[in-house]
Structure 1
Amino acid sequence: MTSKQKEPSTALVPVKFSRLTRRGILLGLSLSQLVALSTGVLAVVVALYAGGGILLAYTAPVWVLSAALTWVPVAGRPAVEWLPVTFWWLWRATGGQLLYRRRIVVPRPAGTLALPGDMARLREYADPDTGAGMVHDPHQQTLTVVCEVAHPAFVLLDPGEQERRVTSWGRVLATVCRSGRIATLQVLERTLPDSGTGLAEWWATHGTAEDTWAATTYAELIDRAGPAGERHATTLSLSLDMKTSARQIRTAGGGIRGAAAVLRQEMSTLTAALRSADLTPSGWLSPGQIAVILRAAYDPAIAATLARHGELGQHLATAGPVAVNESWTRLRTDSAHHAVLWINEWPRSMVYPGFLSPVLLSTGIQRSFSLLCTPMRSDQAARDIRKKKVEHISDQAQRAKIGQIEDAAHTAEYHDVLQQEADLTAGHGVLRYTGLISVSAPTVDELDAAVAAIEQAAIQASCETRLLVGQQAAAFTAAALPLCRHI
């Protein structure tokens, strides 16, 4: 008796993202909408009981404004949800917080980073065991380390190899979720101007210094085209949650040294997981290497010079910008204008793993793509999923009572919750993803053209993007810097 063994499938498996939850607290209304609506209803009730129709007419501006704030949409969001953003913007504008100028004469305290805004509180720590540069946030109680990763071009691999790498990357994310001590995992992919040193070194090693037409033409081509090209760099940032790891930190000696010891364990685990996924970590970045990344983000014109001269810009104390001007829709730093887009809607249909290639492979645009992954422990994820299921079922019962028709979007969200529960039961990790795209250009006109091109590329990738107005400075630090910052 013979039996046929089933051959493993080498075809790519499409995936589907969970929808962004848009359910409200009551009847689809959010907390801010309920507060605005309650204010209007209270004004109407008080007017009817106190003075009748005359007082109702006097209080009309109150309840009409409340109704408008509750239901009138502005740029796809209810008007009431724009109030916190607008008030915070006005507060910062009146306080002079939209401008930053470095104080050259006044020296900064030792161990601090010369960064604007709330990032001025960040502290530098050099790990004596690994030589890695760690960034400590004393307010958020996090400790962050950065690793540069090399990998082959995903789109050039065959479907079987792509599927294997996707499965291996899923194991890496599951490893991050298991310990419960990781606050954020950030994947940052940047386009940088190529200094041409790589081509020059290759020609010096493999080329022939002959006095022929072909050799002379090839050498001139390398000299001219090398600095005009661009290269891609990928980094992984790992942020330790010092609040959750308080017991392990005390066991390791306490303080920043104990936190560094705990973080080293997570670094070793992540390095092993990356190597098993056929990714090549090039080592944890030193403080000088992190300083070069920060300097190149704020001052892109100097990036090629820093790449050619390895000793320049190797100090975190001087890596920040000299000047920053923030406006409602963009950010101006030393030598460039920046605009940050938020991926507010991932693909709703089934897509293949390389769906972001139109965005990541866009040429002629200097941009940074940041994927912030917030892992959840298995017990926390299970409680969150149970809570969502109860909310969906109770909302469905409430809508049935008042005779409201069931919306297909609510049904799709409920199915997403069931799928998350099935994935969690199968041993996968649950992460919350935030996608940000930072676009840079030397002039405003070039920036607008680049933003329009990235928006079109996102449409080709079945994604929807929105410009983060009123918060460009905070968005830029989260999108362009490998420091695991959130908005």
Structure 2
Amino acid sequence: MRFGPRESRGWLLGMTTSQLVLGVAAVWTTTRIFNTGTSAPMRVAWVVIAAACLTVAFVPLRGRTVVEYVPVVINFWIQRLTGHDVYLGGVFRMGNTDTAGFVLPGDLAHLKMINFAVDGAGGAEVAIVHDPYAKTYTGVLALEGSTFALLETAIRKSRVEAWGNLLAQLCSETAVVSRIQVLERTLPDSGDALQRDWSRRGIHDGTLQAANYEQLLAAVDGSTQAHECFVSVSVDARRAGSEIRQAGGGHTGAAAVVIREVDKLTEGLRAAGVRVEGWCSPRLLGEIIRTSYDPASRPLIQRRGGGLGDNSGGDDGLPSGVDPAICGPMRAENAWSHYRTDSAIHRCWWILQWPRQYVEAAFLSPLLLSSRYQRTVSIILEPLSPSRANRRVTIRQSGVTSEAALRQRFRRRTTRRHEVEATDVDRRESELVAGHGLYRMLGLLSVSAADLAELEAASGEIESLAQRSQLEIARLSGEHDQAFGAAALPLARGLR
């Protein structure tokens, strides 16, 4: 597979509105510099102003221009000055929710959880997250995949084709799925859960198989990693209005539509060789969120499993998972270089550029399989309908043509990058004609550590692994609180 270059969007010759304004300001200052009536000190001042405008508009800094950091810096200091950089949860927020909801910090505070009882599932409940601002309903699937890199070439090819067919099916005119998130995370695993499961449900008959299994458990040294994978499916209530009304209307009808779409996705995932463990219940989603904010709570939470119907091998008492009402952080603090919550410090990256050359389907293996720290890889996909995709490609083709005409008029050289972007737009049109889907895609990474020293070590590792995976990433300085909610939590957020 191959990824196209990141599009350079702009109004004129690839310049954005802010760059264009600053460029015009710099050109205007040149009239003051060469004005014969301007004194020498004033000319120096105008030169400094012009240089500052050009620097802010066009000089890149860690993947973004300086002008793109301006709203980030303003938002960060507004948080600091108003005290919104510190969040207090727990007993300080319990009065703002009911027993079925949850309270999260920052831009996640408006999300609501709906407990939906599935018909014919023995009273099992599914957690549906409602965003009243975006008018979306989101359900989460827990998955377990095989080691893709060890499969035969023919099997890998068939699974990649099955995944591609699934993505193409979601890009129909009548599709109601507005967003999909694939989240894979690693968590430190001491092996205690395996020991408890063996003690509770194992067959201790003294056979050779039992002895070998006990030896394997004894070899677990506490430095292993547990891999977890989730797929979030978000349904747009505005697109699915008729389906929601047919299903009963309101939150109940919307939740039923989400379950229907999740079931469709489950069939496609199984065709791609992915084992689907099932929907995420409210307490399971609460556990995912809680262990993201407070990784140190995982060993204690893993010991739970005494509820009715629990078969996870936990201790008697509390049922497995976490009550959604208390799954948020007890305290969160946003800093420029990191985001601190409870027992961990987090840092997030944006995948600025995907591989520019042809790569195999397992090109993310170094990042997914080699990490020694708690990290999350999150990919958010927004399917575009054929009409919207064609319109988007047509507009982009018109932009490429007009930019080429402007470059020729102003006698600017057409670079190889411009040629590659034009070729990539033509390739997208050919793929749409062939029946493939078009997606907006965002990739985010996050890493968690116990202290700043460990965070720096984990950050160095994640950046090295991203480089081995041929990814160009940029730290989301000043935005780690918002980025963490999109990167580490399966809530299908992040794209704008």
TM-score calculated relative to the size of structure 2: 0.88
- Of the structure 1 ranges 287-296 and 94-103, higher mean CA displacement relative to structure 2 is found in 94-103
2:23 counterpart (37, 50, 72): 37
Structure 1 position 107 matched with structure 2 position 114: no
Deviates more, 1:108-117 or 1:89-98: 108-117
| SS of the residue 2:285 aligns to | helix
What's the CA shift for 1:199? 5.2
Which residue number in structure 1 is paired with residue 66 of structure 2? 79
Q: CA deviation at 1:314?
A: 2.7
Select the residue among 104, 120, 124 that pairs with 2:109.
120
1:233/1:103 CA distance change after superposition, 3 Å:
closer
Secondary structure of 1:36's match? helix
The aligned runs of 1:82-97 (5 Å cut-off) are 82-97=69-84
Whether the 8 Å CA contact 2:26–2:51 is kept in 1: the answer is: yes
For 1:265 and 1:52, how far apart are their aligned partners in 2? Answer: 74
Indicate conservation of the 8 Å contact 1:313/1:319, yes or no.
Answer: no
* Structure 2 CA distance for aligned equivalents of residues 325 and 361 of structure 1: 30
**Greater shift after overlay, 343-352 or 396-405?**
396-405
- The separation in 2 between residues aligned to 1:459 and 1:57, in whole angstroms, is 43
Q: Is the 8 A contact 1:291 1:313 kept in 2?
A: yes
Q: For the residues of structure 2 that align with 1:381 and 1:277, how far apart are their CA atoms?
A: 25
Equivalences for residues 23-34 of structure 1 within 5 A? 23-34=9-20
Q: How far 1:269 moved relative to its partner? A: 1.6
Conserved 8 A contact 2:168-2:437: yes
1:301 maps to 2:296: yes
Deviation at 1:229, TM superposition (A): 2.3
For residue 230 of structure 1, give the secondary structure of its aligned residue in structure 2. Answer: strand
Residues in 2 aligned to 1:228 and 1:333: alpha-carbon distance in whole angstroms: 23
**1:140-151 pair list within 5 angstroms:** 140-151=134-145
Counterpart of 1:53 in 2: which secondary structure? Answer: coil
Equivalences for residues 85-234 of structure 1 within 5 A: 85-104=72-91, 106-110=94-98, 111-129=100-118, 131-178=125-172, 179-194=174-189, 195-198=191-194, 201-202=197-198, 205=202, 208-209=205-206, 219=214, 222=217, 225=220, 227-234=222-229
CA–CA distance in structure 1, aligned partners of residues 95 and 221 of structure 2: 38
Kept in 2, the 8 Å contact 1:147–1:283? The answer is: yes
1:320 matched to 2:328? The reply is yes
- Distance (whole Å) between structure 1 residues aligned to residue 71 and residue 283 of structure 2: 38
**Superposition map of 1:364-443 within 5 A:** 364-443=372-451
Deviation of the 1:35 alpha carbon: 1.6
Structure 1, unaligned stretches of length 5 or more?
A: 1-14
Return the offset for 1:48.
8.1
CA deviations over 1:118-163 (Å, ceiling 9, x no partner)? 2111111111225211000111111110001122110110111001
| Contact 1:288/1:315 (8 A) holds in 2 | yes
C-alpha change, 1:401 and 1:93, in structure 2 (3 Å) is same
Equivalent residues, number:
470
Alpha-carbon separation, structure 2, partners of 1:236 and 1:267: 9
What CA distance in whole angstroms lies between the structure 2 residues aligned with 1:218 and 1:469?
46
| Cα displacement string for residues 243-285 of structure 1 (whole angstroms, at most 9, x for unaligned residues) | 2223433444432222223223312221222222232211111
Q: What RMSD in Å do the two structures reach over aligned CA positions?
A: 2.5
C-alpha distance in structure 2 between counterparts of 1:392 and 1:217, whole Å: 64
Amino acid of the residue matched to residue 425 of structure 2? V
Give the Å deviation of 1:395: 1.1
Instruction: Give the deviation of 1:98 after TM superposition.
Output: 1.1
Q: Please report the TM-score for the alignment, with normalisation by the length of structure 1.
A: 0.89
Q: Residue 55 of structure 2 aligns to which amino acid in structure 1?
A: A
Q: Which amino acid aligns with 1:127?
A: F
Residue from 26, 38, 41 that aligns with 1:53: 38
What is the percentage of aligned positions where both structures have the same residue?
Answer: 34
Compute the displacement of 1:309 (Å): 1.4
The alpha-carbon deviation at position 432 of structure 1 amounts to 1.7
Residue type of the alignment partner of 1:376: L
Q: Does the 8 Å CA contact 2:137/2:235 hold for their aligned counterparts?
A: yes
1:361-391 deviations in Å (ceiling 9; x for gaps): 0142211111111111111000000111111
**SS of the residue 1:132 aligns to:** strand
User: What secondary structure is seen at the aligned counterpart in 2 of 1:183?
Assistant: strand
